């Protein structure tokens, strides 16, 4: 425990860059069922003022997952990756990710809090493009189990199910790692002022009032959707595609990824806004799961309500809800959006 606590305040940069690809954006948009044209066609992106296809609001989760795995493989090595659960995710979108962007990831281990055998690890991150502009920032919180033995039969079962990946080879100390560059101890650099841009939204700010309800929306998820998202997002956890692994983990059946449900919720919000770049901040605390059965699709219902309005910036705070089979998916889901 003492060794882990010394990591609090440590900053790192992922050594390799992430190149945002046009086809990857399209694949991710399909995986989260986001049909907005700006994620698929240059002409639709141009109608919003961009010269390239732009990524959906939660696309940063793909980059973030790779960065998190690098952190677990190089720094937080005492945790078993199969014993990790994400509880919170926050994205602050300063400028959209566009096809062709070359991104670097910086991370700060903001806090590690211990509760029994579980550590709550809070990581702040920033994604910078090739012009050193911060595009996306935010935080991720994971619960990692420590000090408890993992059943050997469970380990073997998971190894026979999980998708294969290349093993990470450590070369000497962390300073020599192929994955991360240590940046020392200190607070995360101050973020630049948000770029002000008038979005091209369908709802008009002047027509909204506190308490207004958004139209309800639904999404359907099948086992094929989960397998597709696992591949596109690079999430190898077998509870999302293997009945056997899910039941070994104490779940009734295969369940949808938390970040997949967050992506669906962002798509629901985009459908209402008409302009995905109007979303400035989106935060979710995961509290439930979507069970996805073998031969029947599962349905997720989304709703929203205007919590507050800021007339000076023409922004709205929207509370979002998501349910499946009567189960709440989010303990909290809040979006800050800027309207035309």
> For residue 329, is pLDDT > 70?
yes
Question: What number of H helices and E strands is found in the chain?
Answer: 8, 13
> Which has more confidence, 195 or 277?
277
Least confident interval from 38-42, 47-51, 78-82, 329-333: 78-82
Eight-state DSSP code of residue 214? P
Terminal C-alpha separation, the chain: 50
Region 50-65: what's the mean pLDDT? 96
Question: CA-to-CA distance for 83 and 120, rounded, in angstroms?
Answer: 12
Domains belonging to the chain, first-starting first, are 2-165+178-338 (3.10.129.10)
> For residue 144, is pLDDT > 70?
yes
Per cent of the chain over pLDDT 90 is 70
Closest Cα partner for 329 from 292, 300, 309, 307? 300
Q: What is the pTM of this model?
A: 0.91
The pLDDT, as a whole number, for residue 173 is 45
The pLDDT, as a whole number, for residue 177 is 59
> For residue 169, is pLDDT > 60?
no
Three-class SS state of 158? helix
Top mean-pLDDT range of 28-32, 85-89, 153-157: 28-32
The pLDDT, as a whole number, for residue 168 is 42
> For residue 53, is pLDDT > 50?
yes
Q: Cα angle vertex 291, ends 286, 294, to 5°?
A: 155
Q: What is the mean pLDDT of the chain?
A: 89
Q: Per DSSP, what are the bridge partners of residue 185?
A: 10
312: exposed, middle or buried (Cβ count in 10 Å: 0-12, 13-18, 19+): exposed
Region 257-266: what's the mean pLDDT? 97
Region 3-30: what's the mean pLDDT? 91
Least confident interval from 140-154, 258-272, 288-302: 140-154
Eight-state DSSP code of residue 137? E
Q: What are phi and psi of 251, to 5 degrees?
A: -95, 155
Question: CA-to-CA distance for 304 and 3, rounded, in angstroms?
Answer: 43
Count of residues for the chain?
340
Three-class SS state of 294? coil
Half-sphere exposure in the Cβ direction for 114 (13 Å, CA): 10
Least confident interval from 11-25, 137-151, 198-212, 233-247: 137-151
The pLDDT, as a whole number, for residue 105 is 96
Beta carbons within 10 angstroms of residue 195's beta carbon: 9
pLDDT confidence bin for 132, thresholds 50/70/90: very high
pLDDT confidence bin for 260, thresholds 50/70/90: very high
> For residue 2, is pLDDT > 60?
no
């Amino acid at each position: 425990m003492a060794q882990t606590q010394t990591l609090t305040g440590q900053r790192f940069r992922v050594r390799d860059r992430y190149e945002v690809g046009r086809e990857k954006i399209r694949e991710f948009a399909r995986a989260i069922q986001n049909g907005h044209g700006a994620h698929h066609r240059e002409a639709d992106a141009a109608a919003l003022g961009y010269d390239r296809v732009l990524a959906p609001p939660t696309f940063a989760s793909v980059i973030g997952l790779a960065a998190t795995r690098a952190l677990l493989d190089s720094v937080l090595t005492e945790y078993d990756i199969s014993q990790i659960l994400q509880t919170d995710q926050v994205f602050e979108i300063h400028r959209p990710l566009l096809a062709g962007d070359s991104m670097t990831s910086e991370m700060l281990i903001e806090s590690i809090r211990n509760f029994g055998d579980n550590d709550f690890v809070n990581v702040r991150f920033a994604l910078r493009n090739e012009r050193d502009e911060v595009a996306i920032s935010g935080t991720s919180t994971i619960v990692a189990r420590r000090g408890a033995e993992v059943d050997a039969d469970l380990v073997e079962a998971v190894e026979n199910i999980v998708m294969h990946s290349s093993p990470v080879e450590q070369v000497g100390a962390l300073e020599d790692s192929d994955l991360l560059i240590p940046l020392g101890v200190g607070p995360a650099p101050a973020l630049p002022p948000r770029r002000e841009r008038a979005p091209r939204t369908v709802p008009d700010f002047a027509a909204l009032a506190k308490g207004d309800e958004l139209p309800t929306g639904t999404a359907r998820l099948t086992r094929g959707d989960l397998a597709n998202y696992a591949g596109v997002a690079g999430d190898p956890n077998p509870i999302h595609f293997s009945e056997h692994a899910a039941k070994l983990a104490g779940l009734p059946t295969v369940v949808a990824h938390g970040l997949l449900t967050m992506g669906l919720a962002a798509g629901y919000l985009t459908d209402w806004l008409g302009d995905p770049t109007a979303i400035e901040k989106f935060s979710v605390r995961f509290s439930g799961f979507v069970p996805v059965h073998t031969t029947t699709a599962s349905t997720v219902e989304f709703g929203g309500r205007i919590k507050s309005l800021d007339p000076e910036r023409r922004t709205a705070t929207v509370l979002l809800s998501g349910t499946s089979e009567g189960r709440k998916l989010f303990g909290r889901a809040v979006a800050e959006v800027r309207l035309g």
